[in-house]
Amino acid sequence: MALLELAGIHKTFEKGTVNENHVLRGLDLTINEGDFISVIGGNGAGKSTLLNSIAGLVTIDEGDIRLEGKSIRKDSVEKRAKAISRVFQDPRMGTATNLTIEENMAIAYRRGKKRSFFKNAVTDKERELFKSVLSELGLGLENRLKTDAAFLSGGQRQALTLSMATLVRPKVLLLDEHTAALDPKTSEMVMQLTNKIVKEQKLTSLMITHNMEHAITYGNRLVMLYHGKIVVDISGEEKKNLTVAQLMELFHKNSGQELTDDALVLG
C-alpha cells in the first residue's frame, strides 16, 4: 500500500478575479514508503503549492490526500505535523533564534506530545540523546548545547533544523529547497547530511530542488512538474543513468520550453 497518495489535486488562487491562478491541475502522485523523491520544475510549476498542500498550509479545492490510506485533507497543520516534518529554504525558519540548541531540540522532541515546554526544562536524559544525535552531524554542535541558535551559521542552523525535523521519526519529510540559500560548499555538506539521515532512518522524503545535479544524484526517484501536473516520473536505473543534458531535453519534450537559468539552476 502506498504511504502517501495525492489524487486529482486542484488548487486555484484568487479564483474569480483577474489574478486567478490555477496552480495544481488534477495532480496525481503515489509515494511509496522509503521513496526519496526529487521534485523539479520551472517557476510557477506548482512545486511549493504541492508541499504546502501536503503540509496543510494550503487547502486544496478538489481531490484527496491520503496518508496510509486515510484522508488527511481536512486535518489541521498541527495534526499533520505529528507525521509530516518540513525543512524550509530559509535556515531561520526552522529554529527559534532566542532559544538554545538544546531548547530547540527539546521542542522538536516533544512535538505531538501532551507536554508543555518550559525554558531550561531540558532533562539529562534528553540532553544525552541530543548530544548523540548532533554528534552524527560532525559539526561540533553537541558541544554547544547552551548556545543560542542566533549565533549559528546558516549551514549549522539548517543542519540543526534537519536533525530537529527527524528527531522523532516522521512518516514523511518535506524538504523545500532546503539548500538554496546556502553557498555551494555548505549546500553540498547539508545535502550529504540529508542523504545520510534519510538512508539511515529509511525516511520517505520529497525534496524540491532547483539544482539539477542534486536532483539526479540524490534519491531513488525524480518527478518533474509543469503547469500543475507531473509530466516526468522516473526512478531506478533510468534515474541513476540520467545526465543533466538528458534532463533538460526531457523538460523541453514535455513542456515545449527550454530550461533557463532562472527556471532551474545547474549545480
Q: Which strand (E) or helix (H) includes residue 100?
A: none
What is the predicted pLDDT for the residue at 265?
Answer: 41
The mean-pLDDT minimum among 7-16, 78-87, 103-112 falls in 103-112
Computed over every residue of the chain, the mean pLDDT equals 90
What is the predicted pLDDT for the residue at 266?
Answer: 38
pLDDT digits (tens, 9 = 90+) for 91-140: 888 899 899 999 999 999 987 665 554 554 788 999 999 999 999 899 99
Helix (H, G, I), strand (E, B) or coil at 60: coil
Q: Please count the residues of the chain.
A: 267
What is the predicted pLDDT for the residue at 148?
Answer: 95
Cite the residue boundaries of each domain of the chain with CATH code 3.40.50.300.
4-94+170-255
What is the predicted pLDDT for the residue at 258?
Answer: 61
Please give the backbone phi and psi of residue 116, each rounded to the nearest 5 degrees, phi first.
Answer: -75, 150
Global pTM reads 0.90
Architecture per CATH, 4-94+170-255: 3-Layer(aba) Sandwich (3.40)
Where do the DSSP E strands lie in the chain?
Answer: 4-13, 21-31, 36-41, 62-67, 70-71, 84-87, 172-176, 205-208, 221-226, 229-235
**pLDDT band, very low/low/confident/very high, at 261 (cuts 50, 70, 90):** very low
Can you tell me the mean pLDDT for 29-38? 97
**pLDDT band, very low/low/confident/very high, at 179 (cuts 50, 70, 90):** very high
Taking the C-alpha atoms of residue 244 and residue 152, their distance in angstroms, rounded to an integer, is 34
